[in-house]
Amino acid sequence: MGSTDPKIKINLTENYVPEKLAQRCPVCNGFGTLKYGEKVCQACSGKGYVLVPARNGSKNDI
């Protein structure tokens, strides 16, 4: 068994909410290119994903 350090406390009851979430690009469908690889997607700059703001838990979030 390992020793426990009383100085380190981990709070498992808090839920971590990230500031932004990565979602598959709706323009290129995650490929990063358009026209069978001829053009780089303008929406995601070829990454295949876009960053969107995370929901803040308000009543308006659906």
How do beta strands 39-40 and 49-53 pair?
Answer: unpaired
For the chain, residues with pLDDT lower than 70 are: 1-6, 8-14, 56-62
Domain spans of the chain? 20-53
Q: Which residue, 58, 54, 57, is CA-closest to 19?
A: 54
**DSSP letter for each residue of 1-62:** -----TT----SSSPP--SEEEEE-TTTTTSSEETTTTEE-TTTTTSSEEEEEPP---TT--
pLDDT, residue 3, reads 59
pLDDT, residue 62, reads 52
Name the residue type at position 48: G
